[in-house]
Structure 1
């Protein structure tokens, strides 16, 4: 009798082999017609290199662009597999566009990134490997910010210090929206219904096992940034006032301190009047007191107004965004 021959059923093995896990890239865009082709050309070799590890698809979120951004993405979707497009009815802002992407992304993990290539696509490979090793969140920390001006870099550092000094849950410094999040993390974030959002703070609030990769942040590859200093300041205020009540608590302490100082000063004036009699009151000291207390009151009312305005936004329960159309890639439906 000859040796026993063992035959392998290759078709059965292929059918029962575990499918590759899927990663969805969420790319908010607003008037980025100059960046679309460059972004996809840079991303293509990364997708090819990642193919043994995970299957990558792209979800563009068009935040009401007024240029040719939508047409260019649809044209690319016809030539390249795995590109979907979510069109919002108008410009709702990046935080809303990113939230829409999180609600519509179908991957086992998601990675938000900018189309301007300041988030290098090559870092995606490092994130995926950390994720497959068990991390639920993989943050991309900016090691260098060569693409940012001196003022923007310094103001960003000041924001992180101020926010982390007040917030109940700090956010990692120099980490933007560019990170990988497991499906479990995304499901937790979807349950958060804030209208005044800072997604970076929400990403940190949900917790989960977190790891980190470092990268150097370059300058924009094309186009112009849509973030003015006014918009950045508004985002910073949204982050602070939506994540902590410390500013209100501070003014409670300030009010208590000023009440104590006023009581002591009143007692001192009373004793002085009893001992030395009544003198002519000083005009300068009266004006100074009025200006100081008036300014402090206005500042305190401004902080209260910030919170009241956000309460008004929340109680109206308007949707964070409105979808005009959704073009889903065939491979994304699988």
Structure 2
């Protein structure tokens, strides 16, 4: 099959009920844009029949392919695999649950043809989320804007179009703890946002729990900032200063008024407080050391169990070269 002009990457994990409705809306949009398109599903270790449904669809439409992982590696790694296998001059990344409206791709392509190498969907409404979740999202963007290497456009996610120039740069970034939103901003290029409203999920439930979201947010900040390490340096200086000031205070008080009966409870509380501070600081250091350990092992980002359609055709050309580049 000739190299397509437009590729669409769709990470999926247990999304069997959403594949058919997604294709019903997505394929007519792609056909209106250009006849030279492809869709690359990345099956992130699904436990249902997601891959079987994709195979069935691929038999009727050869421009649909898939990459199936040997296990669940996570959405960020699935996006990286999709970029490895996509061949289009422009690549669109979107979710399979139809919360990213496929019709927006036409607008993305229009902006791309105007000269923008990165076109991202910018979420304008979070009324469907709880107040707690909205609050944490706003806090994350403020913290990242304040302490991160580069600012993130608020409301921008993975739903976006990337020019081939940007795709090739992203493919050279082989870090294990990936935060794609930060990587998109880090590579630069001329970018613009397109406002959109997130639609309701058609089938299934979100797999992003508060624990996963918190971990994802921490990965983002830790990947693009060393502020968490510096904070504990500042806290250490502050505690040292308070300790010296307290020692001076008690020395002067003892010289003037004599020795009081020492308080055992206050001693225990102080020991527990400073022990907690030390353990938290060691935990932050451990997070960064763990990332270093993961990187130096030089394991590949993902393991492919099966390739379908166009993804199988390009596997011998793209993936080994990219693998050697990441191992270098």
TM-score by length of 1: 0.88
Name 1:278's counterpart in structure 2: 259
**C-alpha distance in structure 1 between counterparts of 2:217 and 2:146, whole Å:** 14
Name 1:22's counterpart in structure 2: 5
Number of aligned positions between the proteins = 313
Q: Secondary structure at the match of 2:96?
A: coil
**C-alpha distance in structure 1 between counterparts of 2:222 and 2:201, whole Å:** 30
1:156-180 Cα offsets, whole Å, 9 max, x none, are 2222222222211122111111111
Which shows bigger deviation, 121-130 or 236-245? Answer: 236-245
Q: Secondary structure at the match of 1:230?
A: helix
Alignment partner of 1:168 out of 129, 133, 149:
149
Q: CA deviation at 1:20?
A: 10
1:80-95 alignment runs, 5 A limit:
80-95=61-76
Name 2:90's counterpart in structure 1: 109
Alignment partner of 1:227 out of 197, 202, 208:
208
Name 1:302's counterpart in structure 2: 283
Name 1:264's counterpart in structure 2: 245
Q: CA deviation at 1:147?
A: 4.3
1:50-199 alignment runs, 5 A limit:
50-51=33-34, 55-199=36-180
Contact 2:3 2:87 in 1 (8 A): no
Name 2:192's counterpart in structure 1: 211
Q: Which runs of 5+ in 2 are unaligned?
A: 315-328
Q: CA deviation at 1:295?
A: 1.8
Name 1:314's counterpart in structure 2: 295
Q: Secondary structure at the match of 1:126?
A: helix
**C-alpha distance in structure 2 between counterparts of 1:59 and 1:151, whole Å:** 35
Q: Which runs of 5+ in 1 are unaligned?
A: 1-18
Q: CA deviation at 1:47?
A: 1.4
Q: Secondary structure at the match of 1:145?
A: coil
Q: CA deviation at 1:96?
A: 0.8
Q: Secondary structure at the match of 1:25?
A: strand
Name 2:30's counterpart in structure 1: 47
Distance 1:146 1:218, change over 3 A: farther
Q: CA deviation at 1:292?
A: 2.1
Q: Secondary structure at the match of 2:277?
A: helix
Q: CA deviation at 1:111?
A: 1.0
Contact 1:145 1:218 in 2 (8 A): no
Is 1:36 the counterpart of 2:19? The answer is yes
1:253-303 Cα offsets, whole Å, 9 max, x none, are 111111112112112222222222222122333233223212211221221
Contact 2:3 2:88 in 1 (8 A): no
Q: After TM superposition, where is structure 1 displaced by more than 6 Å over at least 4 residues in a row?
A: none
Which shows bigger deviation, 218-227 or 172-181? Answer: 218-227
Alignment partner of 2:232 out of 251, 270, 282:
251
1:69-118 Cα offsets, whole Å, 9 max, x none, are 11111111111241011111111111111111111111111111001000
Q: CA deviation at 1:133?
A: 0.7
Contact 1:64 1:87 in 2 (8 A): yes
Contact 1:146 1:218 in 2 (8 A): no
Which structure has the greater CA radius of gyration? 1
